[in-house]
Structures are given as structure tokens and as C-alpha cells.
Amino acid sequence: TDMRAQGNVALAFGAGKFLVVWQDLRRLYVQPHDDIYGQLMTFPGLVIAPTRLDFVTSRGGSPPAQHLVLEEPTGASEATQWAVQSTPAWLTVSLSNGQTPADISVTVNTSTLSEGKYTGEIVFQIGQTGLTATSTTAVPVTLMVKSLG
């Protein structure tokens, strides 16, 4: 389709959806009427709580697991598909992919770590069934390893 033949585009966003409306101008000069088209689409979204994780433990200790709760945005019509990766190696998540709603357990392994502050992140790739567009969002993680004494 010749994109110059499309015009007067309008967009509306909200509740995990967007509406695109446009006018087909190809026949505008042939017949005196307007051809107006619209498409309602959902876009991927993911509500993650909490938005960051902080662990504190003694050297060689094992702090309790924390949880990330995943939900679709309010008003979304479909479950959100997601995949997740965590870095570095001391950070582990209980699931590698799924759909909303979900509860992911996050643990840390301090067996090879010295005292100090460590940072990592849990990165979600987000999409929806039937939608090829994806986005990413990250949850920062801080680990503080303290001395035994």
C-alpha cells in the first residue's frame, strides 16, 4: 500500500491498548466520500512488584527467597507472555518464562562471594500471544554480604 495514500492518522492509548484510526485517501478524488479505517491493538505490558529487590546476608549465609509478582496491566484483554534472565550467576529465578499472572521466586547464592555490595538484574522480555512486538524491563537487585562477626 502506498503510505502517501493514507492520512489523518490519530492514536489513542490506555489500559494496555491503543487505537489507530486513519483515512484512505486513494479514492478521495475519484468519489466524494471518506474511507475511514481503525484498528484496536493491545501492546505488551507487565506490572512487576516489587520494582527492586535487596538482599542482606552474612558471608556464606543464605537469605530467604524473595518474590516477584507479575500481572497484566489493568484492562488488558489477554495474559502477557514473558521470558526472564538473571545476571550474574549468584542470582537465580525459579521460572524462565510464562504468562501472567505469575509468582517468581528469586534466590541468591553467596557461597563464592566475599564481603561487599553486589548488583545484578532480572530482565524480562515481554510480548503477547499473537503479537510480534516485544519490549524489555529490568528489576535491579542488590546483595550486601557482611562479615560473620
Strand order in the sheet with 53-58: 53-58, 131-146, 116-128, 80-87, 97-99
* Digit-coded pLDDT (tens) for 18-46: 566 666 666 655 555 566 666 665 555 77
Secondary structure element (H or E) that encloses residue 107, with its range: strand 102-108
Residue 126 has a pLDDT of 84
Report pTM: 0.68
CB neighbours (10 Å) of residue 105?
12
Q: Which set of grid coordinates corresponds to residue 29?
A: 478524488
Specify the higher pLDDT residue, 67 or 40: 67
* Digit-coded pLDDT (tens) for 77-98: 678 888 999 999 999 999 999 9
Q: What percent of the chain has pLDDT over 90?
A: 41
Q: Please check the confidence at residue 57 and state whether its pLDDT lies above 90.
A: yes
**What is d(CA 11, CA 17) in angstroms, rounded to the nearest whole number?**
11
CB neighbours (10 Å) of residue 139?
21
Supply the DSSP symbol for 50: S
Residues 6+ away with beta carbon under 8 Å from 75: 14, 15, 16, 17
